[in-house]
Amino acid sequence: MPFVIAIDGPAASGKGTIARALASRLRLHHLDTGLLYRATAVKGGDPVTAARTLGPEDLERPDLRSAEAGQAASRIAAIPEVRAALVEFQRRFALQPPGAVLDGRDIGTVICPDAALKLYVVASDEVRAARRAAELGADAAAILSELRERDRRDSERAVAPLRPAEDALVLDTSDLSIEEAVAQAIAAAERARAGA
């Protein structure tokens, strides 16, 4: 059975950084599932058709990390048919030997509810806004407003809302360095792997 780690949490909490580090350290595949939604949104046209026809080249677009792509992804992620079209892709990815680290919004609750380890990564709104503003070279106050709107939309959607799985380990990165957050995640993964 592949070793699967599910990492969820709001934007700019540090989940992507932690996921990449875990995948590298544990030699597992990595999928930033948000890229699937961003690529679907940026592809244009009917979102359901875009999700069903998503190809590897769509995940390589340079504009996927923009704030606009993130907002558009959050909007189309609320469409049940879009989610359904991308769920199977994610589940197949997770089952590749020797395993995978997937990060997103509903990995531990919907995509991989049987993951060996579920992390829910959080940080304060202000810390997340400062991180994203530094990453994008944008105004932190504007980013804070966008993050809060996105969190509200992601948490209130009818299908697969943003929330921690009941058995998720919550990791608050507000006051942690990247190295400290990664170290805590690696320790949790090693405990989970030893118990698996």
Residues belonging to the binding site for ATP are: 9-17
Q: What residue type is assigned to position 7 of the chain?
A: I
CB 37 within 8 A of CB 125: no
Q: Please give the C-alpha separations between residue 95 and each of 44, 70, 115, in angstroms, as whole numbers.
A: 29, 27, 10
Helix (H, G, I), strand (E, B) or coil at 121: strand
Q: Is the dihedral of CA 113, 118, 72, 93 positive or negative?
A: negative
d(CA 157, CA 151): 10
- Structure tokens, 35: 């890229």
Annotated binding site: 9-17
Beta bridge partners of 3: 99
CB 47 within 8 A of CB 54: no
